[in-house]
Amino acid sequence: MTDPKLLGPWVRRFLMEHLVSERNLALNTQRSYRDTLRLLLPFAATTAGKSIDRLEVLDLSSDRIRDFLLSLEGKRKCGVATRNQRLAAIHSLARFIGLHSPEHIQWCGELENIPVKKAPRPLVTYLEKNEMDALLAAPDQKTEQGRRDEVVLLFLYNTGARADEVAHVQVGDLSLGRSPRYEGSSTLIRGKGNKQRRCPLWSRTAAMLSEMVNGRGPMEHVFLNRRGQPLTRFGVHTLVERHAATVVKAIPSVAKKRVSPHTIRHTTATHLLRAGVDINTIRAWLGHVSLSTTNIYAEVDLEMKAQALAHCEIKNAKVKKPWRENAGLMAFLQAL
C-alpha cells in the first residue's frame, strides 16, 4: 500500500486523475500546473535535503512555499501574475490532498492561507481603426502566404479569438452561407476550459474562408503553414508580429504598442463597444466567463469619453469669489 505521507503518489493522482478525469481542464492549464510542480519539487527537495521521490506532503510547508514564491520573483525574475498563477496551482494541489486525506487538512489550510499578491492591472492595448486597417492591408496579396495571412488577421479581428483558438479551428467548425453575400455565416470557437461559442462572420471573412477551405475535409485545420501543417499558436503570434513591424513604417504610432493576437482581441472588443454593442454581448463574443473581465473595455471607453470631454472644457473662465470669502454673507449667517 502506498504511504499517504509521501508526496509523489499524490502528485501523480493530482495530474492524471484530478485535472484530467475529474475537472477536465484545458490542456494548457494542465501544462501550467505540471510546470509549476516541475519548478517546485526540485526547490523543495534541495531545501529539505531529500531526493524528490522521498519528499513528504508536510515537506511542502507554508514557509517553504513562501520561499519558493520569493525565488520565482527574485531569481527567475517572474512577474506578480506568474507568481500568483504558480500559487493557484499549489492551492489546487493542497485542496486535492486535503479532500482525500483528512490527516492533512491542517496542512492544507496553512497553504491555502498564503495570499495572492496584488498585481497592478496592465493597460489595455488596442489599435485605432486606421492602425487596424493598415495591419489588415499589410500582407502581400500576390503570394499564397500573403493571402493566408490576410485571412488569419481578418479572422482574429472579426472573432476576437485567442491565438490558440484560431489555431484549432477546423473546416467543420465553419458554417458559411451561400455566395455572394454569405449571410448568416458563423464559426465555432473552442475556448478556455473546453467552452464553446458561436461567433458571427462578416461577409468578407466568410468569402475568403470559403475560398481557402474549398475541397478540404471537415476534420482538417482551417489555417495551415507553408508546409501544409496546422498553424500553431506560436505561428499566429509570429504572423501578427511580422506584419505589425511593416505597419510601423507607415504609421509610427504602432511602434509604441506591443501588437500581438491579444492586442487584436482587445481591438475587437473596443471597436464593438464604440459601435454601440452592449457589454454582455461583447462578453459572449469574446467567451468571457465573468462580466467583470469584460468591464475593462467599458473603463477604456470611459477614459476616451473623459479625454473628449477635456477638449470641450471652457478655458479661462472668470472664477467667482468663494462663498467663504463673502464677508457680507458670513456676517449675515453669524447674526442669525
Q: Which residues are catalytic?
A: 162, 192, 262, 265, 288, 297
Amino acid at the residue 179: S
Q: Residue 221: helix, strand or coil by DSSP?
A: strand
User: Which residue do the cell numbers 491579444 mark?
Assistant: 262
CA distance 311 to 308: 5
Cell reading at 233: 499558436
CA distance 192 to 25: 8
Q: What is the DSSP string of 55-94?
A: -BGGGS-HHHHHHHHHHHHHTS---HHHHHHHHHHHHHHH
CA distance 199 to 203: 13
- What are the distances in angstroms from CA 85 to CA 69, 73, 91, 93? 10, 12, 10, 13
**Nearest to residue 99, comparing CAs of 91, 108, 90?**
108
